[in-house]
């Protein structure tokens, strides 16, 4: 069952209890992956606590190290029950480890693949979308564009709380204090991208997330996003 997030905020002690030593973490099975990162279920040994570790491969990413650090910093500063928060982050060899809560039920995409290939029931969709909108409203209020809203990035924990995650392509519009400044970079997943994101040089803002949110609603209802079964080159043509 999908539930709304509790408004109780985590204490600073709960966040700061995690150490910055790889020896204190035992990586278990892989639970997610992308072009530049792998997510593992892991155990924080001093507390015998199950957490998730996102390992960003620093030598594979096109962004510079400052951008990667910005993502980790964004995740640590986030304080909303419907957005994944990072407990801490540190470098291990050529990887950046980001320590996060473990979302036991996985993503909405995973849930559809294993149990609901033709889409979720309408009441469940409504609940997921409501909580996702809360997350987007918070992020936009903080000046962030998520830029990759989709079922694969909407996660569910054991009690059924919905959280928006994966800030690998997120961007901040307030870097220079200008709420109206737009972005011009081409990032995200094509089927979920707003038209202005697909058009180089036009710029885009928070509204791009709302377009992706709408596509995600269709994805949850049908089990897949519109045109997602076409190869990328056919999609762009």
Active site residues: 148
List the structure tokens of 76. 């640590």
Q: Report the length, in residues, of the chain.
A: 237
Q: Note the helical H segments in 86-231.
A: 108-115, 122-141, 195-198, 207-222
List the structure tokens of 47. 């507390």
Rounded distance between C-alpha atoms, residue 154 and residue 37, angstroms: 17
Neighbour-count burial for 191-216, b at 16+ CB within 10 Å, e otherwise: bbbbeebeeeeeebbbebbebbbebb
For the CA atoms of 114, 115, 117, 118, what is the dihedral angle to 10 degrees?
-170
Q: Which of 169, 160, 65, 50 is nearest to 105 (CA)?
A: 160
Residue ranges with strand state E in the chain: 25-33, 37-44, 49-57, 88-92, 95-100, 106-107, 144-145, 154-156, 162-164, 171-172
Ligand-binding site membership of 130 (annotated): no
Neighbour-count burial for 41-77, b at 16+ CB within 10 Å, e otherwise: bbbbeeeeeebbbbbbebeebebeeeebebbbebbbe
Question: Binding site membership: which residues?
Answer: 54
Annotated binding site for ATP: 54
């Amino acid at each position: 069952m999908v539930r709304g997030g509790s408004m109780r905020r985590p204490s600073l002690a709960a966040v700061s209890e995690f150490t910055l030593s790889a020896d204190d973490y035992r990586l278990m099975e892989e639970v997610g992956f992308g072009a530049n990162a792998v997510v593992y279920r892991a155990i924080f040994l001093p507390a015998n606590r199950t957490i998730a570790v996102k390992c960003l491969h620093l030598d594979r990413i096109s962004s510079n190290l400052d951008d990667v650090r910005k993502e980790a910093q964004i995740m640590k500063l986030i304080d909303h029950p419907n957005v994944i928060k990072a407990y801490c982050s540190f470098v291990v060899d050529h990887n950046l480890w980001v320590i996060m809560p473990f979302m036991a039920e996985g993503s909405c995409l995973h849930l559809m693949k294993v149990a609901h290939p033709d889409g979720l029931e309408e009441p469940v969709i409504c609940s997921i979308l409501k909580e996702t909108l809360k997350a987007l409203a918070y992020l936009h209020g903080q000046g962030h564009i998520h830029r990759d809203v989709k079922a694969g990035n909407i996660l569910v924990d054991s009690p059924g709380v919905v959280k928006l995650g994966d800030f690998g392509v997120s961007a901040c519009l307030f870097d220079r204090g200008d709420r109206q400044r737009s972005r011009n970079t081409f990032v995200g997943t094509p089927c979920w991208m707003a038209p202005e994101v697909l058009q180089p040089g036009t710029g885009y803002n928070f509204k791009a997330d709302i377009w992706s949110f709408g596509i995600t609603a269709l994805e949850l209802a049908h089990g897949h996003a519109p045109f997602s079964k076409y190869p990328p080159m056919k999609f762009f043509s």
